[in-house]
């Protein structure tokens, strides 16, 4: 696939995930889950994977 198609799909998927995440945050506003850290793991590969970020949050 052409690079621009991949970039377009990536941006579209992340835009969709952000929308979904904001809806989820409203639902989980009273919960203790730190979705920001979880999402950083997805959006910034190289730092840590989502699973590791998730585990880091619960097991310091």
What pTM value is reported for the model? Answer: 0.28
Give a yes or no: residue 14 inside a domain: no
Mean pLDDT by runs of 10 across the 60 residues of the chain is 71 77 64 53 50 55
Number of domains within the chain: 1
Give a yes or no: residue 8 inside a domain: no
Give a yes or no: residue 51 inside a domain: yes
Residue 50 backbone zone (phi > 0: left; psi -120 to 50: alpha; other: beta): alpha
Residue 33: DSSP 8-state: -
Give a yes or no: residue 58 inside a domain: yes
How far is 4 from 14, CA to CA, in rounded Å?
A: 15
Give a yes or no: residue 57 inside a domain: yes
Give a yes or no: residue 4 inside a domain: no
Backbone angles phi, psi at 39, to 5 degrees: -70, -35
Look up the domain containing 40 and give its range. Answer: 33-60
Give a yes or no: residue 5 inside a domain: no
Give a yes or no: residue 38 inside a domain: yes
Q: For position 48, what pLDDT does the model report? A: 46
């Amino acid at each position: 696939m052409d690079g621009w198609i991949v970039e377009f799909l990536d941006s579209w998927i992340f835009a969709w995930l952000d929308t979904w995440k904001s809806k989820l945050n409203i639902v989980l506003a009273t919960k203790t889950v730190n979705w920001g850290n979880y999402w950083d793991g997805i959006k910034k590969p190289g730092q840590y994977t989502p699973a590791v970020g998730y585990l880091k949050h619960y097991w310091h």
